[in-house]
Structure 1
Amino acid sequence: MDIQIETPLNTDTLNDSFDIVARQDKADEAIKVLRSDVDEVKARIDKIGKAAVRPAIGSAAGQEPSAEVKGFVDGYLRRGRETEVKSMSGSSPADGGYAVPREIDAMIASELKEISPIRQIAQVVQVGSAGYRKLVTTGGTASGWVGETAPRPETDAPNFAEIAPPTGELYANPAASQSMLDDAAFDLEGWLASEVAMEFARAEGAAFVNGSGVDQPRGFLASPTSMAGDAVRPFGSVQYIGSGDADGFDANPEGRLIDLVHTMKAGHRQGASWVMNSATLSHVRKLKTTDGAFLWQPGLVEGQPDRLLGYPVIEAEDMPDVAGGTFPIAFGNFKAGYIIAERSATQILRDPFTNKPFVHFYATKRVGGQVLDSSAIKLLKIEA
């Protein structure tokens, strides 16, 4: 005879088990919801990041491009329809092309300022015509002291000199295939602004430093030079000091650089900076004082320029290397010392015929430049 003993059912244990399962289900559901929220946030961040990469063409970020920009980009640049831009710009191909809308021109100007080192620190003026002229005083206005009732004798009139920066037409000729233009997702305006700005910046950088002044700006290194001080030096000539060695720096490079700084008036030293190429900067970064400290100081905050003797260092690759007879280092307040005069509007002419199947975009702009105040720029020359 089998004897069966029934074990009493423990309801408390079952309830506990059900509670654990329920809590686990709730936790899994919460994790799923959390993951979904995280994925949504990541997708939004990616979308914002992609939008930030493309420059905003509208009048404000997030707005649609203006009708002028749409007509210029979709009508003229993509399809070559000139009727849409003739009424807006009032220009024609015979004038050298069509003036780009101000939004695209602002994109080009913004990238130019970021890429071109001298443009970042020089004085830039916009002109409506091809030329620019400015009168500057060379001796200042005379003055004197008199008593309260004493007569006022006539003072000498100031002397003036005319500044007329040599100008030239800067051009770039980027090309795109027809399939690129037919692709609606292709950011034509952003690509064109970047290509034009990159080529303009390369040509500008060379001209603002070494330009001859013939159909191009006159660079500050192409100006007359003299060892004479500001009081006796001819107007327009730039002062320099020697490095003390025919092939490089002498045994006291710190002293030479300090002398170069203090050849400049105190007022111009506020806002002054060093200009040199990367090869010269590599040499200067190794220079030490007599007690072993480096002259060069890295920027303490990200985005801030490195410093030499307390002044920021700007790298301009068109500056010469350290060699006998060259001027590898410039120190100056370029806002006061060098002027860039440019006609604000960039002209673009669409050319689908010269190099089929590519479409060229011939962009031009008139730019000039020269030394404005020679007392605001000083040079170091490699010589004994």
Structure 2
Amino acid sequence: MPRSSKLSIEQINLLDYGSSATKSLDQTMSGAITVRAYDPQVVDLIPEDLKDPLFVYKPTVPIENQAWVSWGDRIYATGKLAKLKRGDLSLHHLKQERIIPKSLAAIFPSLGDRRKATIAVVGQLPAGEWASRDELSRDLTQALKEFNTPLGVYKVKATVIFMPEGAGIVAYKEMNDPNFYDKSIASFIIGFRNLSALVVEGGVQSIIRSSKWGFSALVQDVSDHVKEQSVERLTPILSRAFNPPYRLESNVLLDRRPFFEITHARSGAKQVQEVDQLVAAAEAALERYLKSAIGWMQGVVNELSGSCDEVILSGGTAETLKRHFSKRWMQQFPLYSFHAELSLPTSLDDKELGVRLLDPYAALMCLSPSIFDAITV
């Protein structure tokens, strides 16, 4: 039997492949953590594309704004560079098709001049891609062995670990709740693209499932009921309207003010009328969305073998619609929390990602000691 030897891990790259942003938490052996965020777009390229002046490396431009990666016969632009090439936001096909280029593009900036490195990659997969984890692990490990970037060729030896979205929050509960193994816990991650469920009964994962009820479903509903307002245009407006930085009266569903920014009429009665139509469409869409999303979550809870002891709601959409979920969920199921009461150190929130970093941060905190101490080959 071959002997095992300690694999000297130089850093951990924890990756969250969100539809609104790819988030990377990079931790070195010293414990220092760097947060990076990248636009989610990815676009396929051909070799001739790299001759375009757009792809000439510019030292004064942040590398994440000019990232492309290639391995084998595949070439992709990612982030802002892909956006300029009209990259796909990946709402209408499986994320797994874009996970490897997103991973490579998030990893090489953290390595800088270290063209050879030994790292651990921890990727958080949506429930819909969980079945592909073994294939993805193999393909990402292979791609990392040698890939090209604007900074040159990298050769990376990697241990790749995938975990389902929400597993970080659940791992945090396991470490901090003395009654964890006596509980049935349903963790729901409500993001932009999906609403996913991770259910743990007595410490054992029993349900991993995904649905279409992310924030994009609500935004699309509004877009379908108003004239000439795209999902891209409506998304930031609705986020601010549903979650303004000040308190709304309990009977007020949203803040009207952001809608004035996207009306076609720029002043007067016509603009007010247009805002009224947008607000009415948003309020009606919210009612339909909450009914569908909460109904789906209640259906998952009903599948548990016994009673559900705790529900955790997390993700960016859970925070955006927090007061609405609180009001409706309390009527359905009173035992719940947001983000398992976990908070993010302010030193890590320099990208203003807030609660969207909580699940990957919790995963990193729970996994890094064992990764740095115990990985063998």
TM-score grouping bracket, smaller chain normalisation: under 0.3
Between Structure 1 and Structure 2, whose CA radius of gyration is higher? 1
User: TM-score, length-normalised on structure 2?
Assistant: 0.23
Structure number with the higher helix fraction is 2
**Higher RCO (Cα < 8 Å, 6 or more apart):** 1
User: TM-score, length-normalised on structure 1?
Assistant: 0.23
